[in-house]
Structure 1
Amino acid sequence: MRMRGPSIELPDDVKTVLFRVTQEALTNIEKHAAAQSVRIRLAFRPSGLRLAILDDGRGFDLAAVQLDPRRGIGLRNMRERLASIGGSFRIRSRSGLTELIADVPEAQLRRLKEA
């Protein structure tokens, strides 16, 4: 795991969401990816917070997973968790690289801190 940028104190709900998203991503990687390595990056930027989780596994067809209601439950859960704190989620996958990116805008972090 690597962190970049000046760290900031995050609201508890943001910490919980980031933990759960990371946990779900690692579970999916272990179950499905046959990856040899995983990289986790947490970056504090002027525009907000970014969590990136990358693995070197077999990849998957994201469109096929999204079309099948029996598959991708973990991906949907991650997306919903991030949406609950005003964040966004995207994923790119091909053989040898799957990249999950979670962003929480700075304005949203500030609003959650003030709540």
Structure 2
Amino acid sequence: MGSKTADNEVTAVGGVLTDQHPLDFHSLGLAGCIDRLTAPLRERGTVVRWDTPHWGIEIPSNSASLLYQAAREALSNAYKYSAAHTLTLQLAAVDHGIRLVVSDDGTGFDSNLATCGRHHGYGLRLMAVAVHEAGGSVAVSSTPGQGTSVTVTLPLD
């Protein structure tokens, strides 16, 4: 039987990590909401490391929501494909903006295929469109056998 824990509220539905909880950026903060998404990776034995220099800036809810969706996409891909031992999340203030980096030491892939292949990177492409519309940028770097890094930068004005 075993006891149900709060971690079970995050499930992989069709390989996409989904938090059954309503998003609460106010009390959990963006990092807290994203951290909840890592539960299925942690359960599988992936070490999740956070690198969040303390900066205490307010992230507008629309930006927080977009960064959360980007993190969910990157973490879902890591969960489905990477077989990573370690995954690092970084959330940091940059010049007039905020940057989220999700990197892993997993299997990696040919990033050229991810942006043009018919069945690859569809979610990443949709996420990139949304980020670009918000004035931000997305960079995906991956090499077979050497892991993947997804960097999303959003302006804060």
Distance 2:146 2:124 in 1: 19
Ranked by relative contact order (alpha carbons within 8 Å, sequence separation 6 or more), the top structure is 1
Structure 1 equivalent of residue 94 of structure 2: 45
Q: What letter matches 1:31 in structure 2? A: K
Q: Deviations over 1:11-34 (max 9, x none)?
A: 111000011110111100010111
Cα displacement (A) at 1:5: 4.8
Cα displacement (A) at 1:77: 1.8
Structure 2 equivalent of residue 102 of structure 1: 152
Per the normalisation by structure 1, the TM-score is 0.84
Which of 78, 81, 87 is the matching residue for 2:136?
Answer: 87
- Based on CA coordinates, which of the two structures has the bigger radius of gyration? 2
Distance 2:106 2:118 in 1: 23
Unaligned runs of 5+ in 2: 1-49
| TM alignment of 1:1-115, pairs within 5 A | 1-94=50-143, 95-105=145-155, 109-110=156-157
Per the normalisation by structure 2, the TM-score is 0.63
Q: Deviations over 1:40-77 (max 9, x none)?
A: 00011234211111100010011122222222111102
Unaligned runs of 5+ in 1: 111-115
Q: Deviations over 1:58-108 (max 9, x none)?
A: 100111222222221111022022113211000111122211111123xxx
* Larger deviation, residues 70-79 vs 85-94: 70-79
Contact 1:92/1:99 (CA < 8 Å) preserved in 2? yes
